[in-house]
């Protein structure tokens, strides 16, 4: 993605409502230009395809989980995520439930984060390793023949609740997602190139589609700008630069 990793990253928006996708269409040219390291595109949603098909057909390396700080994967898009992983692991006489996937993630959060992942913090979880280490899924995961995407757990809320209008939490989530991918691609052999991105906070959180799309694009724009600046020998962010960026972030959240 960046000069340190040499990896380009494409975010593929998977929006079951279609509203975020509609809001994003006119904003795509602001991100997908020149030599930008980060790009974004929209996947067409079809009720005839389950999440497993979407992931296989689009060579997805990582899935964004936009839920809550405690790792419950039983609502909204998170429910689809837990069903996907349980389906990939189950086989033969071994059946893994969606709740087992929640328990596995919560075990990772307990080990790495004390059981609580703060709002907007992005944690990359190698689900293959996690499932092979968790007692309830260990045997089934040991039979995995194909690789499964990593999970980027990025809470948009501590517990299910409405996100206040004007909150910049979606920008912060997206920024931290990018940073976590960048760090992963520097230190891990399992690179992340293609990321499945759902609407962030647009379900229970009631963030409008326009606000979600605008905050996501603003984060991508400013991160691409920062990556481009690395080639300059005279990079300096002045207070005016910071104030302008802060203004744009606040504007995107409206």
Please, which pLDDT band fits residue 5 given cuts at 50, 70 and 90? Answer: very low
The residues near 115 (Cβ < 8 Å, ≥ 6 apart) are: 70, 71, 106, 109
**Long-range pairs for 158-167: beta carbons < 8 A, 24 or more residues apart:** 158/68, 158/69, 158/70, 158/119, 159/68, 159/69, 159/70, 160/68, 160/75, 160/204, 161/204, 161/205, 162/204, 162/205, 162/206, 163/201, 163/205, 163/206, 163/207, 166/250, 166/253, 166/254, 167/207, 167/253
**Residue 49 falls within a domain, yes or no?**
yes
- pLDDT digit string, tens, across residues 9-45: 999 999 988 999 999 999 999 999 877 889 999 998 8
Domains identified in the chain, total number: 1
**Residue 13 falls within a domain, yes or no?**
yes
Least Cα distance to 12 among 49, 61, 53, 48 occurs for 61
**Residue 66 falls within a domain, yes or no?**
yes
- pLDDT digit string, tens, across residues 161-204: 999 999 999 999 999 999 999 999 999 999 999 999 999 999 99
CA 83 to chain centroid: 17
Looking at per-residue pLDDT, the higher value among 216 and 226 belongs to 216
Per DSSP, the three-state class of 184 is helix
**Residue 3 falls within a domain, yes or no?**
no
The phi, psi pair for 153, rounded to 5°, reads -80, 115
Rounded to whole angstroms, the Cα distance separating 37 from 145 reads 31
* CA-only gyration radius of the chain, Å: 18
The whole-number pLDDT of residue 47 equals: 85
The whole-number pLDDT of residue 120 equals: 98
**Residue 1 falls within a domain, yes or no?**
no
Rounded to whole angstroms, the Cα distance separating 221 from 219 reads 5
- pLDDT digit string, tens, across residues 66-110: 999 999 999 999 999 999 999 999 876 788 999 999 999 999 999
Rounded to whole angstroms, the Cα distance separating 127 from 61 reads 11
- pLDDT digit string, tens, across residues 109-158: 999 999 999 999 999 999 999 999 999 999 989 888 778 999 999 999 99
Rounded to whole angstroms, the Cα distance separating 212 from 180 reads 20
**Residue 128 falls within a domain, yes or no?**
yes
Least Cα distance to 132 among 145, 124, 142 occurs for 142
- CATH classification of the domain holding 223: 3.40.220.10
Domain with 157, as residue range(s), is 9-252
β pairing state of 150-153 and 123-125: antiparallel
**Residue 4 falls within a domain, yes or no?**
no
pLDDT of 232 above 70: no
The whole-number pLDDT of residue 199 equals: 96
Counting runs of H as helices and runs of E as strands, what totals does the chain give? 9, 6
Per DSSP, the three-state class of 235 is coil
Least Cα distance to 19 among 199, 251, 157, 160 occurs for 199
The whole-number pLDDT of residue 103 equals: 97
Q: Which residues are paired to 115 by β-bridges? A: none
Least Cα distance to 36 among 224, 233, 170 occurs for 224
């Amino acid at each position: 993605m960046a000069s340190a990793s040499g990896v380009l990253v494409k975010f593929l928006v998977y929006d079951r409502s279609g509203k975020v996708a509609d809001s994003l269409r006119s904003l795509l040219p602001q991100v997908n230009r020149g030599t930008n390291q980060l790009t974004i595109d929209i996947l067409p949603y079809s009720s005839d395809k389950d999440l497993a098909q979407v992931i296989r057909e689009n060579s997805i390396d990582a899935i964004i989980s936009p839920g809550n700080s405690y790792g419950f994967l039983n609502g909204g898009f998170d429910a689809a995520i837990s069903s996907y992983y349980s389906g990939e692991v189950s086989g033969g006489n071994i059946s893994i439930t969606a709740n087992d996937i929640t328990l596995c993630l919560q075990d990772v959060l307990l080990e790495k984060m004390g059981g609580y992942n703060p709002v907007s913090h992005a944690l990359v979880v190698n689900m293959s390793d996690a499932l092979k280490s968790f007692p309830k899924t260990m045997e089934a995961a040991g039979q995995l023949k194909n690789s499964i995407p990593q999970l980027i757990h990025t809470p948009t809320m501590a517990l299910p609740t409405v996100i206040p209008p004007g909150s910049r939490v979606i920008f912060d989530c997206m920024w931290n997602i990018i940073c976590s991918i960048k760090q992963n691609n520097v230190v891990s052999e399992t690179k992340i190139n293609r990321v499945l991105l759902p609407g962030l906070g647009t379900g229970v959180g009631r963030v409008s589609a326009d606000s979600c799309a605008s905050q996501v694009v603003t984060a991508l724009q400013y991160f691409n700008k920062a990556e481009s600046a690395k080639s300059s020998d005279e990079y300096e962010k002045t207070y005016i630069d910071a104030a302008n960026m802060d203004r744009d972030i606040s504007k995107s959240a409206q």
